[in-house]
Amino acid sequence: MKQSLYRVYRPMIFDEIFGQEHIKRYFKNAVKNENISHAYIFSGPRGTGKTTTARILSKIVNCENPNGSNPCNECSNCKAINENNFMDVIELDAASNRGIDEIRQIRDSANYRPVKGKYKVYIIDEIHMLTKEAFNALLKTLEEPPEHVIFVLATTNLEKIPDTIISRSQLLNFRNLSEVDISDNLKLISENEKINIEDQAINLISRKAKGGMRDAISLLEQVMKFSDKEITKQDIVNILGIYDEQYIMNFINAIYNSDIDEILEISNEIFNLGKDPELLVEESMEKIITIIGNDKNDKYFYILENLQKIHKELKYSENTKLVFETMVATFSFNLSNIDEKKMEKQSESNLDTFESDPAEEKKIDKNVTQIFDYFTKNQKKINLAIVYALKYSEYKLEGNEFIIKIKKDQSLEYELINKYKNDIKVALNNIFNDDTHLNIFYEGNIKTYDEKPKSQSKQLF
């Protein structure tokens, strides 16, 4: 059976990993200085290289002839790991092995010396799925780890991992890859597979992947199976059921101009073609966030807020066409009747307020305005998505904590804050000299994300 493309093109050394420059730099320095830790937590979205990095780490610590900070992939140990046939590298999926008995087996086997390699490496995926009892059993091993054992715990939900586990591990955050990184890799794969694909088609796949390299490669493979050796932008639109940028802009402009006839025509078209209206709304929100970077218009914030409500309704509606047409047409019609002054009131603080309104500055801590300035005035760091999410959330600076509280019905705000929390942490560190940490509370979660001060947690990135 032919291997999937994402397995064929899985990076084999640190240098081949696309994006995640901070992760590569960290491990290459750790290998060079012989400073490998006994436990790591790899946190980040799916398809961003967590398991791949764990396997490369398992090779470099057991490689017989390392090539600088990279494994050689030629020695018997490296080859066995690549073939999933190395007894000292144990991979476990915590989603299906989440109980205390499985963790006890790991704890007991960890006490035995490696069979062939220098280290036993346990790679546990979806670690957040473990039960409370299983976490407690794992904690004992992390507190007193054998010198020949390395744990790599991978998760997409860091907030579900107990602080006691985090504090005994090195925490590395994997980030969504940029569309540029994804596009560059897809071009290399297309060349190797002798596929002629338009740049616009690659850009569409990169956007659709939403930061995940594995998803991007899987989408490319899906398109390759439907097309011949020539892949066009239209092939991507037809096969993956996505929308090109012009179509999204037509939809946004129809709402902005309260063109009800155009809205209904777009609705009929997407449902006749069997396309997903939820995806159109989602991609329109992403596009509006980009637009706001150049046009700080409260009208766009109003549209964004209403599209969020529509997106939520579409998820649970049986009659999506009726909900889509009714809600979009209604709020678009209301948009044409909203007086600009009323809209300004409705938006509690315009972006310009943070720049020059003395009255507003009295109500907002001046230290907090520095955070908004960081994402609106710093040309290289402008991020209006963060500004939007903070604007409609509850936030305050209290001592050395920046606290963000998000209501249960504000899923978009939570998704944006969660997506860009690393950027917010960087801003806090730059503004307040590394002394401020971030707390995010979301009513929609059973547990909240709570980043402890650095004295309690060894978070490196």
What per-residue confidence (pLDDT) applies to 453? 39
pLDDT in tens, 202-260: 988 998 888 899 999 999 988 888 776 688 888 888 888 788 888 899 999 999 888 88
d(CA 224, CA 206): 15
pLDDT at 458 over 50: no
pLDDT in tens, 252-300: 999 988 888 898 899 988 888 888 898 899 889 988 988 887 777 778 8
Contacts of 446 (CB under 8 A, 6+ apart): none
Which DSSP string do the residues of 383-428 spell out, in sequence order?
-HHHHHHHHTSEEEEETTEEEEEE-TT-HHHHHHHHHTHHHHHHHH
Percentage of the residues of the chain whose pLDDT score is greater than 90: 31
Confidence of residue 337 (pLDDT cuts 50, 70, 90): low
d(CA 226, CA 48): 26
Whether residues 127 and 199 fall in one domain: no
Question: What pTM does this model have?
Answer: 0.67
288, 320, 346 - which closes a domain: 346
Chain-wide mean pLDDT for the chain? Answer: 82
Structural domain containing residue 51: 5-173
In this structure, the number of other CB atoms found within 10 A of the CB of residue 394 comes to 12
Whether residues 141 and 13 fall in one domain: yes
Residue 460 in any domain: the answer is no
Q: Which residue has the tokens 């057991």?
A: 62
Residue 381 in any domain: the answer is yes
Using CA atoms, how far residue 320 sits from 277, 279, 325, 327, 454, in Å, is: 8, 12, 8, 10, 47
pLDDT in tens, 340-377: 445 444 444 434 433 434 333 334 455 677 887 787 76
Residue 458 in any domain: the answer is no
Kind of pairing, strands 449-450 and 437-442? antiparallel
CA proximity to 277, closest of 327, 234, 228, 233: 327
Contacts of 148 (CB under 8 A, 6+ apart): 113, 114, 118, 119, 120
pLDDT in tens, 418-452: 878 888 888 888 787 666 788 888 876 544 444 44
CATH number, position 124: 3.40.50.300
pLDDT at 143 over 70: yes
Whether residues 117 and 205 fall in one domain: no
Q: Helix, strand, coil: what percent of the chain each, to 5?
A: 55, 10, 35
What per-residue confidence (pLDDT) applies to 172? 94
DSSP state of 459: B
239, 266, 286 - which closes a domain: 239
Residue 400 in any domain: the answer is yes
- Answer for the pair 332, 260: CB distance below 8 angstroms, yes or no: yes
What per-residue confidence (pLDDT) applies to 357? 40
